[in-house]
């Protein structure tokens, strides 16, 4: 692990995977790269990773496809545990569940960190 955070240069206290581990179901055999990260940037990036993953899954869910299984296994439980995360998604959704508004700042933060 590098000694400093990849974003701010502070002492690294954890590792950040790129691309995000959460985007790969099963994770078996993956050899994702890691960089040093401070707790602040690791947590912020993880939240943005989950937000983007939720958007992708919601948009791609059809029948019992992989996107729906990831949503039910990973995103929905997080929405149940974190009311703020739930409202971020629900407040920007149409009555049929389609996400109609995207938090551009979070999307930008996700791609900036990637």
Task: Write the pLDDT tens digit of every residue in 77-105.
Answer: 988 898 888 888 877 777 766 666 788 88
pTM of the model: 0.76
Q: Which residues pair with 99 in a beta bridge?
A: 93
Q: With CA atoms as reference, report the closest residue to 91 among 81, 106, 82, 102.
A: 102
For residue 72, report the phi and psi dihedrals to the nearest 5 degrees.
-70, -35
Task: Write the pLDDT tens digit of every residue in 31-53.
Answer: 788 889 998 888 888 888 889 99
DSSP E strands: which ranges in the chain?
14-18, 33-37
Q: With CA atoms as reference, report the closest residue to 37 among 2, 63, 64, 70.
A: 2
Assign residue 26 a region (left: φ > 0; alpha: ψ between -120 and 50; beta: otherwise).
left
Q: With CA atoms as reference, report the closest residue to 86 among 102, 75, 74.
A: 75
**Could you tell me if 46 and 91 are in contact, meaning their C-beta atoms sit under 8 angstroms apart?**
no
């Amino acid at each position: 692990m590098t000694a400093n955070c990849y974003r701010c240069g502070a002492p690294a206290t954890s590792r950040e995977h790129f691309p995000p581990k959460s985007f790969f179901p099963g994770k078996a055999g993956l050899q994702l790269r890691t960089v040093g990260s401070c707790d602040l940037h690791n947590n912020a990036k993880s939240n943005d990773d989950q937000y983007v993953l939720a958007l992708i899954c919601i948009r791609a869910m059809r029948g019992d496809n992989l996107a729906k299984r990831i949503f039910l296994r990973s995103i929905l439980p997080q929405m149940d545990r974190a009311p703020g995360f739930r409202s971020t998604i629900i407040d920007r959704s149409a009555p049929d569940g389609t996400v109609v508004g995207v938090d551009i700042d979070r999307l930008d933060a996700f791609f900036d960190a990637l």
